[in-house]
Amino acid sequence: MENNGELSTVERIQQQIAENPILLYMKGSPKLPSCGFSAQASQALMSCGEPFAYVDILQNPDIRAELPKYANWPTFPQLWVDGELVGGCDIVLEMFQQGELQTLIKETAEKNKAE
C-alpha cells in the first residue's frame, strides 16, 4: 500500500465528480478537442450556456484507464451531472436535440448556485 497522501485514481475520479456538478471527461479540451465525439459532446454542453468542468483524459492516462471500470461505461466522452453518469456522445446529442440536456444543465447549475 503506497499511500503517501496521494489519492488513488478512483478517489481522484470520485472527488472530481463530487466537486463538479457538470463534468465532461473527454479527449482534449472543449476549445481543442482531440476526437469528433468529444467535440460534439462539448459543443452541445457549451450551447447550454452554463459553465462546466472537464478532464482531458489524454493528459490523465490513469483516469483514462480507470474511469471506464468505475463508470461501467467503456468509451469517452462521459458526461457526469450531479454525481450521476448521463452517458456518452450519442446520449448527450440525443438529449440536446430533444431539449432535455439544456433543462438538465440549467437546473443543475441553478441548484448548485443556490447551495
What is the CATH number for 52? Answer: 3.40.30.10
Residue 1 in this model has a pLDDT that exceeds 60: no
Does residue 114 lie within any of the structural domains?
Answer: no
Q: Is 89 annotated as a binding residue?
A: yes
Q: Is 90 annotated as a binding residue?
A: yes
- Express each pLDDT in 73-102 by its tens digit: 999 999 999 999 999 999 999 999 999 999
- Express each pLDDT in 24-62 by its tens digit: 999 999 999 999 999 999 999 999 999 999 999 999 999
Does residue 2 lie within any of the structural domains?
Answer: no
Does residue 1 lie within any of the structural domains?
Answer: no
Q: Is 12 annotated as a binding residue?
A: no
Q: Which residues contact 79 (CB under 8 A, 6 or more apart)?
A: 22, 23, 24, 25, 41, 45, 85, 86, 87, 88, 91, 92
Concatenated DSSP letters of 43-104: HHHHHTTS--EEEETTT-HHHHHHHHHHHT--SS-EEEETTEEEE-HHHHHHHHHTTHHHHH
pTM exceeds 0.85, yes or no: yes
**Mean of per-residue pLDDT scores for the chain:** 95
- Express each pLDDT in 15-24 by its tens digit: 999 999 999 9
Q: Is 56 annotated as a binding residue?
A: no
pLDDT classification of 6: cutoffs 50, 70, 90: confident
- C-beta atoms surrounding 50 within 10 Å: 17
pLDDT of residue 67: 98
Residue tagged 467535440 (cell numbers): 39
Number of domains in the chain: 1
